[in-house]
Structure formats: C-alpha cells, structure tokens
Homo-oligomer: A and B are copies of this chain.
Amino acid sequence: MAGTAYGLGIGPGEPDLITLKAYNILQKADVIAYPALEDGASLARQIVAPHVPTGRIEIAIRITMGQPADPIYDAAALEIGEHLKAGKSVAVLCEGDPFFYGSFMYLFGRLAEAGHPVQTVPGVSSMMACAAQLGAPLAARNDVLQVIPGPLSEERLRAQLGDTDAAAIIKLGRHFAKVRKVIEELGLTSRARYIERATLETQKMVPLGDLPEDTIAPYFSMILIHRRGDAWR
C-alpha cells in the first residue's frame, strides 16, 4: 500500500507550538523531509529537534538563494514519491503553516499531480504568533485584514495600506526603508509594531519609529498595523 505524504505545519519557532496532530504524525513517519540552506542548516529541523525520534530517514531539500527552485522541487518530489511507492510515510516539515506563503505548496502540487496521497496539517502561522507576542490583536468585527509582501512597489504598498483596517507586512528584508516610508506618509507609524523571530529565544520587538531607516530586517520579521491602534476599540 502506498504511503502518505504529510505537509506538517510545525508552528512559528517555539517547539511546543506544534499541534498534537503534527507531533503524533512525526512520531510515526518513516521519512522526514525539510527545507534547508545550501550548507544543510534548517530552521524547520531545528524547531522540531526535541520531538524527532532517532533513526529516521532524513531528506534535506537544499535551496540555493538566487537559483531556480523548480528543478530542486522536481527532484525532491521524485525522491519523496519513491518512498511513498515503497509504502513509507513522509513528513515534510513546514515552518508556520504549510499553505500560508509556504514552499510546501510546490511539493504539494507536484505530489498531488503525480497521484500520491498528500495531506496538509495546518499549523500556527507566524502572523498569529507575532500578534500574540506583541499583545496586538490582528483584526475584529468587520475589519479588512491584508497580508502585504514588502517587495511590492511603493505605489502598490500605498494603495493597499491606504485601503485597509489592518495589515501584516511580511518579507521585509531590504525593503524595510521603502515600507517604513509609506507607513510614515500614511500617518500610521504610531499604529505600527515591529517584531522579528517571534517565539524564538532571539525574538526582538521594537516600536517601528525606533528602528534606523537603513535596517535590513531578517526574513523572519513582520510589521503589524491596526488603524484603530488596538483592534478591540
């Protein structure tokens, strides 16, 4: 009988923010796969370290920044597919939630189209973890909440942010200065909260206005904005 591939949401960073369901699947999985840097380092693997039994087959899917990812996912899907055909179950570790801007969807598409059984186990997203750590509810009542990637053009950022009750701005990186400028122009700086590496030991929270303009934000960072200041007001 063919094995099942699981896209496992493992949560934002704190190991205990994994669900019981993902934890239990992890205990039984024959193979564990995860995204990794070129040198093999993997935040996802690190997050679940306290939960992974020894002696499992492990597949590090090494992504090289700036190189086409399609051939890498093609190869990973084939390798995982071979294990599934051999009746083995495969847990693919996904930081946060697998379907919220997660790279698991590229494997999901390939595995599903090849006819393999695939299940997605939702996880605690970084967006919810950031809100919890900041004590800043995302949205209430009939608020529109927008998730806005930092790489968008200044014009698009201005249009989206000008037209929403609440926002989470993700993928800040080297786009930080541009994003901050738009927030300032819209008069929202006092409503904006910045956080990086939420729930990890290296977590940092700073009022947006206190950060230097030339900040290069790490990948795991986010700005949350609510037009009313606090969503419950």
Question: Hey, which bits of chain A sit against chain B, CB under 8 A?
Answer: 7, 9, 11-12, 14-21, 23-24, 97-102, 105-106, 108-109, 112, 118, 120-125, 128-129, 131-132, 135-149, 151-152, 159-160, 163-164, 171, 230-233
Contact = CB atoms under 8 A, between A and B. Distances in A.
B151 A142 contact: yes
A39 B17 CA distance: 33
Contact of A141 (B125, B144, B149): B149
Contact of A21 (B14, B139, B141): B14
Given A20-B18, A123-B128, A144 B152 contact: yes
How many copies of this kind of chain does the complex include?
A: 2
Contacts of A7: 132
Contact of A120 (B12, B97, B135, B159): B135
A233 B110 CA distance: 11
A97 B132 CA distance: 9
A200 B124 CA distance: 18
Nearest to A15: B20
Given A19-B124, A108-B137, A99 B144 contact: no
Contacts of A20: 15-20, 23
A99 B136 CA distance: 8
Nearest to A130: B122
Contact of A17 (B15, B21, B105, B143): B21
